[in-house]
Structure 1
Amino acid sequence: MSIRFQILPKEEILSVVPLVEKLNEHKISAETLNERFLIMVEEDYECAVIYDDDKLIGVTGLWYCTRHYAGYTMEVDHVYIDDGYRGQGLGKRFFEWIHEYAKEKGCQTVELNTYVQNYPSHKFYYNEGYEILGYHFLKKL
């Protein structure tokens, strides 16, 4: 096993759709995800990935902005690691890499959202030093 973390080149963005589709339990079609990712890579967004040799096994989005309460921040979005690679400390290593990358980008903070029902992720994020700051609300228009 040869694990590596990297920022995915923009032209390869659609390679993450199958993993993100699993994360969303197929609630969002691959077609819609394709359309949205093609727009996202043209905004303040990057995609960090995990490879095992040439196999894509993990993904997260990275958004950047300045917030009045947090300064220049990286928001980690849609974290997914393939089932067969969980429980091996890979998430911890991935977040260590993400935190170092955020510092290199000049970020003062890192934020994230996680689904309410994703209890294992809550424990993981607490263990990584994250605190609950508020609730994330969504209204579809």
Structure 2
Amino acid sequence: MESDISFRKATVEDLERIVALLADDVLGASREKYEKPLPNRYREAFFAIDSDPNNELIVACIGKEIIGVQQITFTPSITYQGGWRATIEGVRISASARGQGVGKLLIQWAIERAKERGCHLIQLTTDKKRTEARRFYEQLGFRATHEGMKLKL
């Protein structure tokens, strides 16, 4: 399966499938609103991401079927001597493709993309309830070196 997977920038035509992937897990089901037609906020967010050169919404495909998604945000900073960092968010793999190496390839693709963009660091967060996800990211070399905090608005 791994050799059949390709990665590309998402298009607006992919949006319905992307939202379906985001909604297809315990946490996503309570956060997302997958319905037809999709709420317009998803289109607005897509176009904001698509028009920003420091954001990339990437899909993993087998043929024309989308089996994974991730968003990569590139952030300049004054720290690290003006270095850039990449943040991976919204990673989802379709239920039918989980456990087959797709997630590993998707994250490795993001790491290579961050290197291409000159980033000195790549980071991500995972919900504390996702213990398997944490193990997965640790196997790829990520370390929980910081304690993250969030404030819901």
Give the TM interval when normalised to the shorter protein.
Answer: 0.7 to 0.9
Deviation readout 1:37-68 (Å, 9 max, x if unpaired)? 33233333111110011001100000010232
Deviations 1:96-138 (A, max 9, x none): 2221121112111111111111111100111111111323322
Q: Which has a greater percent of helix? A: 2
Q: Name 1:37's counterpart in structure 2.
A: 46
User: Whole-Å Cα distance in 1 between the matches of residues 116 and 98 of structure 2?
Assistant: 27
Query: Take 1:50 and 1:13, find their aligned partners in 2: how far apart are those partners?
Result: 11
For residues 84 and 97 of structure 1, do their structure 2 counterparts lie closer, same or farther at Cα, with a shift above 3 Å needed?
same
Whether 1:139 and 2:141 are equivalent positions in the alignment is: no
Q: TM-score, normalised by structure 2?
A: 0.79
- For residue 27 of structure 1, what is the aligned residue in structure 2? 31
CA distance in 1, matches of 2:145, 2:29: 26
Structure-to-structure mapping, 1:1-141, within 5 angstroms: 2-9=4-11, 11-12=12-13, 14-15=15-16, 16-23=18-25, 24-30=28-34, 31=39, 32-43=41-52, 44-67=54-77, 68=79, 71-141=83-153
SS of aligned partner of 2:141 = coil
Tell me, in whole angstroms, the C-alpha distance in 2 between the residues paired with 1:111 and 1:75: 5
1:12 CA displacement = 4.3
Q: 1:34 to 1:116 in 2, by over 3 A?
A: farther
Larger Rg: 2
Is 42-51 or 30-39 further displaced after alignment? 30-39
Deviating 4+ runs (over 6 angstroms): none
TM-score (norm 1): 0.85
| Structure 1, gaps ≥5 residues long | none
Cα RMSD for the two superposed structures: 2.1
5+ residue gaps, structure 2: none
Equivalent pairs counted in the alignment come to 140
Letter in 2 for 1:39: A
**Which has the larger displacement, 60-69 or 121-130?**
60-69
Partner Cα distance (2:10, 2:44) in 1? 17
1:75 aligned partner, one-letter code: T
1:26 Cα deviation (Å)? 4.1
| Identity score, percent | 27
CA drift at 1:28: 2.8
Equivalent pair of 2:5/2:61 in contact (CA under 8 Å): yes
Q: CA deviation at 1:29?
A: 2.2
